[in-house]
Structure 1
């Protein structure tokens, strides 16, 4: 898949490369129509084996004038020079788009895969949700509700980098294999040597590997690279044999007759090969093989890979062997597709993934898919013409600097949450911390005490000291925040929600008060502003209507919709598979649209967190103190996940220009254990939550920077 030099380029091989990338695109964009298109990747591996052998044999001609280290380094630098700059750039751009355009669950689940992609380990065994072949959807895929909710988790934006990982991993072993071959194996047996290695690799993939492992493992793919190497040796019999003789002539040989035999062998092999080329046999073999390959890719029925993969791999080798100067494969359009194939391969999948998550709406294709395909091609052309061609002319030193810069950008982006969290953990302005922690970690006893106090005093802590409550209603009613006149702010800010709004009141005052001319807070316990909780009856029905009226009357410049999910987290109704058809979503969307029209600039919408098991809070410190399995403890912490609520909220804010979603998932999701962690392990178990499912003062400090960033934006 990496680019080849234009020097002495065989146009027919670029045509093969063009057919390969078209097969892959068909498989990715229209998997039901082209279920066998994945074989294009197998063709790429054969092509890579061919060009690797070409580079190694060319370098081996000067092996006596350079060290083995220099020989290997020269190979690595040339290969990686072609792959790394564009590869690292595409990963970086994909990460940026993940942060700002993709749904939050997709971003979170792709962080780990991006790390593997950066170190070329994307070909590790996939989980069922990540299985490459899952791109060919089941007929009833969208009727399976649990899969519907996991759709955004199943799309790995970096899944296509698995093939580059296989290729780069092969780079690390091929110089050793090649050196062993030319140093120890007579020239006339070198094809046999590579052939035996290929047979061993294929046997390993067939006898000892699962389907997934055989697909991803570099050891199970060596046979395809070997076929490419064999094709190169077979297509250059005179050059290769005489090159071997040249090497041997420089050695201290005991038997000069062996040299003579090799020279005679070179002449006879060349004569036989030329006679074969003059017959019609190569043309017939090429046409039959190429026609069969195209037919198999176009076949709308999925064919067993046990037959298809070895046939396609060998067929690719035969076509490459007999296709030099072939008019069809050298056709300009096809060769140009081959030229841009590396860019097209790297660019198309992230764009397709975005379409799948945001623009497919459950369908297998639509007009947006056609636009995604067109955009992929246009960007690939621009990438090839203005980036690939440019950097391939640069020196190794310059390329190395570019790669280091891209690596730094990538790792900074991958770990930006941790960096931001570390920065925000520094003393913030002149506002005292709500949790009272000044410096250092608290003891186990203090952690236990604070956890208990925050839960016991949860209701009292929802009283905001700066609030002037109407009619003695307390925290669950209306309040006008005071003390704003000293800041001379110019905006009217409104906070609405259930008790979660009151829970956040003092934090929002501290971070946004300096921008506010007026800061109004309205919270109603146990009632969501957008959809009435059934078990609370008419009270919550009235609350939804009340919030509509209040927002219309207040006409705020900015509004915070800060509410914990209740019924909005309920499963879809029976038979509903699309969020647009869900009755709860339609009701909350209708209410939300009314609210948004009355807000002048922005509505900040909280995107939910899981509901916890309250009784676990009192266990936290003991679990940490006793060094128990925290991952297992974490799993027992979640009483009700927020996945369905997020699906509804994300769909609700989609396309809303005034809407700014914010959430806490990255702060509570532990990527090491893949569990939700609602306590501070480093602080001996300080809880981020209370038993009322509110944020504790320690939890509010954890999210402070989010509100600081939101409020600094206006």
Structure 2
């Protein structure tokens, strides 16, 4: 994101320099840095980005309006070009250096797929459409986003898109006689529409709401309207401190009160936006909260600190170095590199540009920009230059794609479609039902079929557990489960049903602190004993409902590795380590205790047979993400096709006795 710390008319030597805004930058950048480096309690530090949006909107309006007041009508287009030229000089030098550094370092350390992705992201960052690119790939808070080296440049793109649109609105609506009324009305109306869009998409498409310009514009426009208000209204001296402290209360509250599961940037984002606007409106130029050596030093360097901090965070994830001590080291390194970047890139380029003509500056910037982009295109066209790295390293990384090739065809995600893929022969030999964990073991079951004429029927739905009466926001999960429980009655009674889910993720959350993703009789914001009881009963009820018609086999939860296994295994290989990521049996047992208890209860109630994959995945009191040096997961928790071959013997038990005998025995136990 662009922080406007040094527009030519907003320097320390200029009387219009706002020390309070510079100090506010320090608060915002620290919040973002502390959040990404996982400092405890700063769970809403990402709202620092929203604060920067307010600052940018305020300063943009200030620059445009004050220059308009000094210009004649024919000079307006030249004024706009001057604004864009100043922005490019400010933003691009450091951004180009960051992107170039990552491309150079990536040559030595990144696998072909990762390197090709980095090149794609570099181009989108330099051309300011990275928010659109990233929105199409994954959510900002998804674990996969930790591997995106330029994830943070989405906000730069949003601001640049704002600069392309909003100054034009101001320019063509401005008249000196109107005293800013027309721009105020237009910007206010646009703000309202943008806020309504943000509220709507935050609940219907959170990923889009987070990234795209139309749902973020209201935050920047809040800063612009704050400028228009300050031209008409000046707070009385006796009220300034109260206004400023009220603003900081809202800002600081947002740092601690929200987390990555909060709806954002909808209604919740109003809190830091209003807080930042109040701080700017108060105009307390000598406030101890903003005008002190610490905040002024950080604020001045905030752009460099922001640009370099995320690549350092991503490096720590890349190395698997995320202990508190290592994260603290990352913060210190960010401060050092940010300070060096400010001195030797930001200040140096500013001094250098003063000596050059606009034509030479534009030529230099464009040459540097397109040199990097051409390199990106070469990297993409050569598929990440796989020959530059050890062959096994590349092969290990490529295990990220070792997925059932029919997954996208057969696995349901989000909206309901009629499932029904079969693997194998023409006669149904078994049904596999569950979430994405069930989808990952389809070929394992297929490999265990006793006869070639038999097949495996797949009914799986992402993040949708096989719990009776389950409900979920914004997906067709409930309809899918209702359909499956009814449809299974039509299958021949001798067909066994294998149920598999990432059950512990619904019990504890897919990541720490996540609120319940499913509900039953009522919605819960926390995992209360009542909620866990409903979940347990729903698991048992679904299994027992199916057991009325078929032999049922439930698979124990798969160990979750916490980190993407192919990438971590490849790094371990480079470092000469034999094993990739692993978790202890104690960790596994603690996380899956409730899931096991519920499955055991289903076994006791209706004779469900339990299948335990741990003997195939764990040894020596640890569960490993690799086997003989090769990843057996394609991410941090889904088994790959390599693992499917390893655990195939687990499912032979399903077919060990004549299927009709199995059904008869089950009916007897009931």
TM range (shorter): 0.5 to 0.7
The 5 A counterparts of 1:506-517 are none
Return the alpha-carbon distance in structure 1 between the equivalents of residues 384 and 32 of structure 2: 42
Assess, with a 3 A threshold, how the Cα gap between structure 1 residues 285 and 371 changes in structure 2: closer, same or farther: same
Note the C-alpha offset of 1:580: 13
The 5 A counterparts of 1:299-314 are 299=257, 303-305=262-264, 306-314=266-274
Q: Partner of 1:11 in structure 2?
A: 19
Note the C-alpha offset of 1:415: 3.1
Q: 1:207 aligns with which of 183, 187, 200?
A: 200
Q: Partner of 1:612 in structure 2?
A: none
Work out whether 1:372 is the aligned partner of 2:330: yes
Q: Partner of 2:67 in structure 1?
A: 59
Q: Partner of 2:220 in structure 1?
A: 225
Note the C-alpha offset of 1:175: 2.1
Note the C-alpha offset of 1:412: 3.6
Note the C-alpha offset of 1:132: 0.8
Assess, with a 3 A threshold, how the Cα gap between structure 1 residues 298 and 403 changes in structure 2: closer, same or farther: same
Q: Partner of 2:647 in structure 1?
A: none
Assess, with a 3 A threshold, how the Cα gap between structure 1 residues 51 and 207 changes in structure 2: closer, same or farther: same
- Range with greater deviation from structure 2 (158-167 or 314-323): 314-323
Q: Which runs of 5+ in 2 are unaligned?
A: 396-556, 579-624, 633-670
Return the alpha-carbon distance in structure 1 between the equivalents of residues 269 and 565 of structure 2: 43
Assess, with a 3 A threshold, how the Cα gap between structure 1 residues 128 and 166 changes in structure 2: closer, same or farther: closer
Note the C-alpha offset of 1:3: 2.6
Return the alpha-carbon distance in structure 1 between the equivalents of residues 252 and 175 of structure 2: 40
Return the alpha-carbon distance in structure 1 between the equivalents of residues 75 and 191 of structure 2: 28
Work out whether 1:172 is the aligned partner of 2:134: no
Contact 2:130 2:153 in 1 (8 A): yes
Q: Deviations over 1:151-196 (max 9, x none)?
A: 6x86111111000000111111122111133139822635344222
Assess, with a 3 A threshold, how the Cα gap between structure 1 residues 281 and 340 changes in structure 2: closer, same or farther: same
Work out whether 1:291 is the aligned partner of 2:275: no
Q: Partner of 1:256 in structure 2?
A: none
CA root-mean-square deviation: 3.9
Return the alpha-carbon distance in structure 1 between the equivalents of residues 212 and 289 of structure 2: 34
Note the C-alpha offset of 1:391: 1.4
Q: Partner of 2:123 in structure 1?
A: 115
Work out whether 1:401 is the aligned partner of 2:394: no
Return the alpha-carbon distance in structure 2 between the equivalents of residues 404 and 646 of structure 1: 49
Work out whether 1:27 is the aligned partner of 2:22: no
Q: Partner of 2:178 in structure 1?
A: 186
Assess, with a 3 A threshold, how the Cα gap between structure 1 residues 593 and 164 changes in structure 2: closer, same or farther: closer
Assess, with a 3 A threshold, how the Cα gap between structure 1 residues 180 and 30 changes in structure 2: closer, same or farther: same
Q: Which runs of 5+ in 1 are unaligned?
A: 136-150, 238-268, 426-494, 501-572, 595-643, 652-714
Note the C-alpha offset of 1:213: 1.7
Q: Which has the larger radius of gyration?
A: 1
SS in 2 for 1:176: helix
Assess, with a 3 A threshold, how the Cα gap between structure 1 residues 185 and 39 changes in structure 2: closer, same or farther: farther
Return the alpha-carbon distance in structure 1 between the equivalents of residues 164 and 320 of structure 2: 40
Paired residues in the alignment total 399
Contact 2:113 2:383 in 1 (8 A): no
- Scaled by the length of structure 1, what TM-score is found? 0.50
Contact 2:247 2:278 in 1 (8 A): yes
Note the C-alpha offset of 1:105: 4.0
Note the C-alpha offset of 1:405: 3.2
Q: 1:339 aligns with which of 297, 300, 304?
A: 300
Runs (4 or more) in structure 1 with deviation over 6 Å come to 418-425, 578-582, 644-647
Note the C-alpha offset of 1:106: 2.5
Q: 2:50 aligns with which of 42, 67, 90?
A: 42
Assess, with a 3 A threshold, how the Cα gap between structure 1 residues 188 and 83 changes in structure 2: closer, same or farther: closer
Note the C-alpha offset of 1:292: 3.0
Q: Partner of 1:321 in structure 2?
A: 281
Q: 1:234 aligns with which of 229, 234, 237?
A: 229
- Range with greater deviation from structure 2 (395-404 or 66-75): 395-404
Note the C-alpha offset of 1:303: 4.6
Return the alpha-carbon distance in structure 1 between the equivalents of residues 88 and 627 of structure 2: 41
Note the C-alpha offset of 1:40: 0.6
Note the C-alpha offset of 1:208: 5.1
SS in 2 for 1:330: coil
Return the alpha-carbon distance in structure 2 between the equivalents of residues 171 and 419 of structure 1: 32
Note the C-alpha offset of 1:314: 1.6
Contact 2:54 2:273 in 1 (8 A): yes
Work out whether 1:355 is the aligned partner of 2:316: yes
Assess, with a 3 A threshold, how the Cα gap between structure 1 residues 423 and 285 changes in structure 2: closer, same or farther: closer
Contact 1:21 1:345 in 2 (8 A): yes
Q: Deviations over 1:35-58 (max 9, x none)?
A: 211111111111111111111113
- Scaled by the length of structure 2, what TM-score is found? 0.53
Note the C-alpha offset of 1:311: 1.7
Return the alpha-carbon distance in structure 1 between the equivalents of residues 384 and 250 of structure 2: 58
Note the C-alpha offset of 1:380: 0.6
Return the alpha-carbon distance in structure 2 between the equivalents of residues 647 and 236 of structure 1: 69
Return the alpha-carbon distance in structure 1 between the equivalents of residues 35 and 58 of structure 2: 24
Assess, with a 3 A threshold, how the Cα gap between structure 1 residues 578 and 104 changes in structure 2: closer, same or farther: farther
Note the C-alpha offset of 1:649: 6.5
Contact 1:91 1:114 in 2 (8 A): yes
Q: Partner of 1:216 in structure 2?
A: 211
